[in-house]
Amino acid sequence: MAYSTTNLLPVAASTFEGGTHSWSAGTNTTLSVVTGQSPSGGGTYSLRMTASASGSVSGTTPRVGVSAGTEYVAYVPVRTSAATSGRTATATITWYDAASGGTSLGTSVSAVWTLPASTGWNVAYYPVAVDRAPSGAVSATVTLTVTGLATAEYVNTDEVFMGTTPNRSGNLMDFNVSSIEQDAAEWTTTNGSLVRAGTPQATGSGYYSLTAISNAAGEMVITTIPSYPVTAGQTYVSYAAVRAYSAAMELHSEIRWFDAADSLISAETRTSTLATGSVLRTAVVGVAPEGAVSARVCLRPYATAATQYVALDDVSLCVAPNAPGNLLTYEEFSTESVLPSYSPTGVSYSRAYLASATTDGYYAVKLVADTSSIVSLYLDRLVPVSPGTTYQVGAVFFAHNPTPSNSMTASFRTRIDWFDSDQQLLLVDNPDQFYTVTRTGEWSSIAQTQTRTAPPGAAFARVGYDIDNSGATADYYFVDNLRLTESSPEYTLSVDSQNGLVNFTVFWEPPESASAALVTIRRMNSDGTSDDLRGHGLVYNLAPYSGSPIIVEDYEAPLATNVWYSVEWFKSDGTSTTLQLLTQSVTAPVLDDANYVWLKSPGNPALNTRVMMESPFRWSRASRTVTYDIVGRRNPVVVSSTRSGRSASVTLLIWDHNSNTIFDRLLDSGLPVLVQAMPGYGVDGNLYLSIDGTETESVTGNATIPGWRWTLAVTEVDRPGGGLQGSAVLTWQNITDTYATWQEVTDSHDTWADLMVNG
């Protein structure tokens, strides 16, 4: 069916493919289901309406349920069996206030169509009724009436439709104006004539279009007769599917603004060229000017001769569906009728048609990379912002695979730079990591966002995006639905060098529809390795997830290296939701005095302490090889195995009582320890040790002066498992120091998560 909505009529009332019908015959009418007279592309059966005597025939469908105020379309094809003139066909929708019985609330009648003096199916003359169900309507029927038949003459009907109109969501136009299904009565033109033609120009919008036929060379001004209410200052968008049949021609598409006296104020105009034989989706975006109360849609094709045909279909006028709260204009958001000004790096860009069910409108920014590296596109317009406010930038990215059978990898990210009140660059974004998709098929897409808080002194933001085209096999990209909105942060990252940790809090949470039940959080290290992060009492590797925020204290980020974090959500069975959060890179904590190292308890951070190494590690690795002397042989038999790990004796110096006490407690735990040193100290990355024997002595030789030398026998071990117990930075002492009573604690925090985040 040519309507994209659902047919409410059952098979016995629409296609008759069961060999029966459920219609009711009118006077002078005999109904029968026959074979061999279905329209092209139809099924086997059709419904025949035979005149008992000369005059009219009619038939009515069973009732279908309707909703008051909803717009419906009834489409009733007619086949003639005799080449006679004087016959007419109409379709009538009768509305009722009950599912059965009840009272008729009136009728909606199609235009009266004079059937041609020929036989067969002819779509140009099918009657179509379009109207809204009146107040109180609960059900409706469709009646076909054909006049002027001779005795025993018959007509057929098939593929009958009754359903809601497939009008564009938010269209201010009724469906008959938009798709010209019923008639062309709500359009007017100059220098030509208008007809409803059976040549639809848009998929799913119906069987007809408005065809304008020029009287002479020159401009035709095709305009809606009705005007539509608008609000001054509001942005509107108008679309039309337009085809030139006879010759290529110039086309001006317009939204015309009118005041309260219906006088023209101004028009928003876009100019394009119609190529012969192909459909162009025109788009006009404009802001209703001051004083505007209504608007009309106008298309002005320039004919080069008489009898040139131009068809219009699926015409609309809507409030532009910009993203809620978007600080960017609708054209910057969706690029529907004008290409905004951008600054490119390594890429050329244009406005191009994009058929996508996931983004708005019909057009987007098309990008073709000039180089195999990271390419960028920044919006030139600086957007006013307020310092201290968090903003989210988002976009939808598409990559085109020229060889769909091959796997293609595409990587994208958005970014925000900040400018001061003089529009001078204040801070360049440290963007989130590239979001990557790898798959076969013609298209890959990613909807990506990031949040940033405007720094002190920021007055403007510049938004843009990067595409990693390094080694990419995509031949071009599209970007659509670019937006900048005020937001809460998706996550926060802060580095605490005093306590040797990175604080990572995840605020973003998957939609309920994702059924996220498990979460994995990893630190991505600069050497290409990754580690699962520890949480309180658990490790974030398919850990239970009950909602955000997730508060993570990472005490194991290798000092002074660049790290970032990855969060992935999974369903309860361990399958991926495909949802993830990737952070920006940060520099892990540093030690302000490189003579010191951190000794940390990976599972009990309250025992972490800084100590001085008196000398570097002197490693030894014991052999696991065993030799056997064999009687009668000169050389022994050797059985070898992997050499053991590193062992050493190391000497530490501690210069204050508190650190010495904490270190002693760390030894009491018997747990492995983590040694972290600044680069160049001889400890590369994280070094996990098991401590065997220990010895301690005073360095100062005076019991009243602090200073101890600890000698430790240590063995290198793998990173231990397990979660965290406690924290090095947030303790109950912090709470008791901050709040006088428990009531103050509960009054200040709605949840435990809030208490853990904010203290």
Beta bridge partners of 147: 88
Cα distance between residue 510 and residue 29, in whole Å: 61
Buried residues in 611-640 as b, exposed as e (16+ CB within 10 A) = bebeeebeeeeeeeeeeeeeeeeeeeeeee
R_g of the chain computed on alpha carbons: 38
Indicate the pLDDT class of residue 128, thresholds 50, 70 and 90. very high
Residue 147, Ramachandran bin (φ over 0: left; ψ between -120 and 50: alpha; else beta):
beta
Whether the domain at 175-319 and the domain at 491-586 fall into the same CATH topology: no
Secondary element (H or E) of residue 197: strand 192-197
pLDDT digits (tens, 9 = 90+) for 69-83: 999 999 999 999 999
Tokens of 508: 């973003």
For residue 517, is pLDDT > 90? Answer: yes
pLDDT digits (tens, 9 = 90+) for 276-331: 989 999 999 999 999 999 999 999 999 999 999 999 999 999 999 999 999 999 99
Residue 236: how many CB atoms within 10 A of its CB? 25
Cα distance between residue 293 and residue 379, in whole Å: 32
Q: Does domain 330-486 have CATH number 3.40.50.2000?
A: no
Q: What is the pLDDT of residue 757?
A: 47
pLDDT digits (tens, 9 = 90+) for 219-235: 999 999 999 999 999 99
Indicate the pLDDT class of residue 754, thresholds 50, 70 and 90. low
pLDDT digits (tens, 9 = 90+) for 334-391: 999 999 999 999 999 999 999 888 888 999 999 999 999 999 999 999 999 999 999 9
Cα distance between residue 293 and residue 230, in whole Å: 5
Under 8 Å CB-to-CB from 287, ≥6 apart: which residues?
A: 233, 234, 235, 236, 268
Cα distance between residue 510 and residue 517, in whole Å: 10
Q: What is the pLDDT of residue 752?
A: 58
Of the candidates 344, 311, 92, which has an alpha carbon nearest to the alpha carbon of residue 192? Answer: 311
Cα distance between residue 316 and residue 271, in whole Å: 17
pLDDT digits (tens, 9 = 90+) for 131-159: 999 999 999 999 999 999 999 999 999 99
Cα distance between residue 535 and residue 546, in whole Å: 14
What is the fold, at CATH topology level, of the domain defined by 596-716?
Answer: Elongation Factor Tu (Ef-tu); domain 3 (2.40.30)
Mean pLDDT of the chain: 93
CATH of 175-319, one of 1.10.10.10, 2.60.120.260, 3.30.70.120, 3.40.50.2000: 2.60.120.260
pTM of this structure: 0.86
Cα distance between residue 726 and residue 739, in whole Å: 20
Q: What is the pLDDT of residue 500?
A: 94
11-164 CATH: 2.60.120.260
Residue 744 sits at φ, ψ, to 5 deg, of -65, -35
Answer whether 435's CB lies under 8 Å from 465's CB.
no
Listed in sequence order, the DSSP H helices in 426-528 are none
Cα distance between residue 446 and residue 454, in whole Å: 25
pLDDT digits (tens, 9 = 90+) for 535-579: 988 999 999 999 999 999 999 999 999 999 999 999 999 999 999
Cα distance between residue 597 and residue 687, in whole Å: 11
Residue 346: how many CB atoms within 10 A of its CB? 17
* Lowest mean pLDDT across 381-385, 512-516, 642-646, 740-744: 740-744
Q: 3-class DSSP state for residue 544?
A: strand
For residue 753, is pLDDT > 60? Answer: no
Under 8 Å CB-to-CB from 413, ≥6 apart: which residues?
A: 431, 432, 433, 434, 435, 448, 450, 465, 466
Residue 715: how many CB atoms within 10 A of its CB? 16
Determine the length of the chain. Answer: 759
The β-bridge relationship of strands 309-319 and 209-214 is antiparallel
Tokens of 438: 């790898």
Q: Is the CA virtual torsion 538, 541, 546, 551 positive or negative? A: positive
Cα distance between residue 389 and residue 396, in whole Å: 24
* Lowest mean pLDDT across 240-244, 439-443, 679-683: 679-683
Q: What is the pLDDT of residue 759?
A: 54
What is the fold, at CATH topology level, of the domain defined by 491-586?
Answer: Immunoglobulin-like (2.60.40)
Question: Where are the domains positioned within the chain?
Answer: 11-164, 175-319, 330-486, 491-586, 596-716, 729-759
